[in-house]
Amino acid sequence: MKKYTFLFILFFFSFSLYNNVFSQNPLLEEYRKIYPKEKAIFIYRNKEINIDFDAKKDSFKIISKIESRMLHLRLHSQAYAQEAIIYSDYTQIKNIDAYSLVQTTEGTKKKQVVNFQTRDAVSDDVFYNDVKEKVFLFSNITAGTQTHLAYTEELLEPRFLGSFFFTSYIPSEKTEVSVSVANNIEIGFELFGMDTSKINFTEKTQENRTVYTWTLENAPKYTDEKSSPNLRYYEPHVVLFIKNRLIEVTENEEKKEKKIPLSSSVKDLYDWYYPFIEEIDTITEFPELEYFVDELTADDTTTVAKAKSIFDWISTQVQYIAFEDGERGFRPAHPEKVCKRKYGDCKDMASVLLAMLRIEGIEAHFAWLGSRDLPYKYAQTPIPLVDNHMIVVAKINGKNYFLDATGNQETFGTPSYFTQDKEALVAIDAENFEILNVDSAPYSQNIVYDSAKVKIEGAKIIVTGNIILKGFPKTTILPYLQFQDKEKESEAFKRLLNPHEPTLQLKKTEVLPTKRKKPLQINYEYEIPNHTQALYSEFYINLHLNPIWRNTEIDSLRKTPVNANYKFEKTQVYILELPRGATVKFLPQNQKYDSEYFGFSVEYTRSSEQIILKHTVYSNYLILPVSEYEKWNEMVKELHKAYRQNIVLQR
């Protein structure tokens, strides 16, 4: 009994102490009312960037001061106690000042952070990079605690000025970024995001400097919604870059201002990029590879066939491993080295692909491009932030082939799904380049065709059929068909065939061996008990066995676009064998819905012995804009009407 009495007293004392501290902290009380569901907020987040040019060292000097203060609103905010400062070989972190301000009955106490751990930053999709992080913990985190972080960052490569996001993982009362530049330096900037209208911009010119400032007050936290594109598409942020340095020159005894460009145009970016590839790009012979390439393409009679054989070999025999290691992240390895070791990053695989194509006399070029995670264009932001990938562009019979060998299931002639609708910066030679648009694969190339015969036996149905997959649906599903566990295999096939029917009994599946060029075929047989319903001499059956897009209405409050990996078309053909002596009393009407981005058709046909349902849907977008959500929900509503329609048979 004494034990429980003691615990009660301890709890009561702690609760009383917490309430006492809470009542003495009007700032906490104010923000808890404003943010009733948040565990913490940023009172402010600031970044001050100073840019100068050191004439003696002939280099830019870029120093940033980063500062933030977080207020913990509730007891369970310890998840925000850990902080990390991210940096790379191109940055130096100095003067870290981190501490907690803890509210006690005796006033505010400052708890300085003294333990910092430096470690490699781990990325799921990068084998090795040069990114580091300094990790540390704020102490005494409880409601009312404020955590303060300030440090300076020196940027060693002026082209990596980068971007600043006005939103974060928690709300921010005030977010501000400023750039102070000497008047002989010209900067460029671009705002991105769905709504930048509330960002206040000022430009103040003083005697020797100009200060650009962007401020956003009451910034919400990141929007976290399923199937959104990368947050760079919708979260407000500013991309910064140095365009020119201005110097005074004398021409014909007249003083003039001359611009020394850094990142003022795509040509400036290309002139910086090309030296990284020049060694490989200017090699005219690859003696160690020639015999192998000749053997590889010996049976090919056309240029396209030779290019395909080379592409297929590299994408299957050279393993893709991502590296991001300082300058190594920009420079491809020698193709003969890549071929021997059988692995490399995107630049290495582009290097060996380029070499082998050129051995066969095929015009081939290195090309940089950004994945679909990046919404930027070269002319708008001519800095390294614009891209993160390298491929090869082959020019054959007047057609551009965008060849990305980093995926072992990629199809020759079709761009990888994450480079669709992107720009490619193509290297022609040391002075010349071109920007090409990578097309997206039309939905007619990405096919799922499911056809089956349906037989009625009593109340159950027996379904026997096959699924044909072409294009991205094929390459996407192939890695998931390497099953080791039979139970997991069975569940996966059930989800593929009919994810909405829990009583489905899978009887047989067979994945037919496939070549890269050929479609994938999956044969199957399953039963669904009690699928038909009888009433007197009539019985009812619904042939929509796998209702696509059922229950996919988009919430009217959703803020972000919907992202898709590829456009596609899915068709289902179900052939119902009429039982002996049965006649058709009711057949549902055909239905159709068409729009620019999506649509469907439902078509019934009948004969004396069978009923055929053909149901097709198409998705014609990579990013579905918010403005289309009402039409999407309208289409889903029409689909649901079609899915509720039963066929009525009479004996």
SS3 per residue for 324-387: ECHHHHCCCCCHHHHHHHCEECHHHHHHHHHHHHHHCCCEEEEEEECCCCCCCCCCCCCCHHHC
Number of H helices, E strands in the chain: 10, 38
Q: Average per-residue pLDDT in the chain?
A: 91
CB atoms within 10 A of CB 57: 8
pLDDT band of residue 53 (cuts 50, 70, 90) is very high
Runs of H (alpha helix) within 428-523:
472-477, 486-497
CB of 538 within 8 A of CB of 416? no
Residue-level pLDDT at 128: 52
State the average pLDDT over residues 87-95.
94
Residue-level pLDDT at 169: 96
CB of 241 within 8 A of CB of 383? yes
Q: Which two tokens stand for residue 94?
A: 């100095």
CB of 478 within 8 A of CB of 409? yes
Q: pLDDT for 607-630, tens place per residue? A: 889 999 999 999 999 999 999 999
pLDDT band of residue 10 (cuts 50, 70, 90) is very low
CB of 215 within 8 A of CB of 174? yes
More confidently predicted of 603 and 9: 603
Architecture of the domain whose range is 25-247: Sandwich (2.60)
In the predicted model, is pLDDT for residue 126 greater than 70?
no
State the average pLDDT over residues 305-311.
96
Residue-level pLDDT at 484: 61
Residue-level pLDDT at 486: 76
Residue-level pLDDT at 3: 47
CB of 356 within 8 A of CB of 293? yes
CB of 467 within 8 A of CB of 449? yes
Euclidean distance between CA atoms 245 and 538, whole angstroms: 85
Euclidean distance between CA atoms 350 and 346, whole angstroms: 6
In the predicted model, is pLDDT for residue 95 greater than 60?
yes
Euclidean distance between CA atoms 463 and 509, whole angstroms: 12
Q: pLDDT for 469-504, tens place per residue? A: 999 999 888 877 776 677 778 888 888 888 888 899
CATH C-level class of 266-437: alpha beta
Side-chain half-sphere of 20: how many Cα atoms within 13 Å?
10
Q: At residue 521, what are phi and psi to the nearest 5 degrees?
A: -120, 130
State the average pLDDT over residues 520-540.
92
Secondary structure of residue 612 in the 3-state scheme? strand
- Amino acid (1-letter code) at residue 534: A
Residue ranges of E strands in 428-541? 433-437, 447-457, 460-469, 505-511, 520-528, 533-535, 538-541
State the average pLDDT over residues 46-52.
98
Place of tokens 């040509």: 267
Euclidean distance between CA atoms 138 and 83, whole angstroms: 8
Give helix 2-23 / helix 26-34 axis angle, nearest 10°: 90
Residue-level pLDDT at 13: 43
pLDDT band of residue 255 (cuts 50, 70, 90) is confident
In the predicted model, is pLDDT for residue 465 greater than 50?
yes
Residue-level pLDDT at 496: 87
More confidently predicted of 406 and 324: 406
More confidently predicted of 236 and 494: 236
- Amino acid (1-letter code) at residue 227: S
Which stretch of 79-93, 204-218, 399-413, 486-500 has the lowest confidence by average pLDDT? 486-500
> Which sign, positive or negative, has the C-alpha torsion 620, 623, 626, 629?
positive
SS3 per residue for 143-209: CCCEEEEEEEEEECCHHHCCEEECCECCCEEEEEEEEEEECCEEEEEEEECCCCCCCEEEEEECCCE
Cα dist from 105 to 8, 15, 40, 102, 607, whole Å = 21, 13, 21, 10, 86
Contacts of 381 (CB under 8 A, 6+ apart): 190, 239, 241
Domain 443-650 has CATH 3.90.1640.10: no
Q: pLDDT for 158-196, tens place per residue? A: 999 999 999 999 999 999 999 999 999 999 999 999 999
In the predicted model, is pLDDT for residue 20 greater than 60?
no
Q: Where are the domains of the chain?
A: 25-247, 266-437, 443-650
Residue-level pLDDT at 303: 97
What torsion, rounded to 10 degrees, do the Cα atoms 235, 240, 241, 244 define?
140
Side-chain half-sphere of 433: how many Cα atoms within 13 Å?
23
pLDDT band of residue 591 (cuts 50, 70, 90) is very high
Query: What's this model's pTM, rounded to 2 decimal places?
Result: 0.91
State the average pLDDT over residues 256-268.
94
- Say what percent of the chain tops pLDDT 70: 94
Q: At residue 491, what are phi and psi to the nearest 5 degrees?
A: -65, -40
Contacts of 430 (CB under 8 A, 6+ apart): 274, 278
What torsion, rounded to 10 degrees, do the Cα atoms 114, 120, 123, 126 define?
170
Residue-level pLDDT at 436: 98
CB of 335 within 8 A of CB of 386? no
Q: pLDDT for 192-213, tens place per residue? A: 999 999 999 999 998 899 999 9
Pairing of strands 610-619, 423-427: unpaired
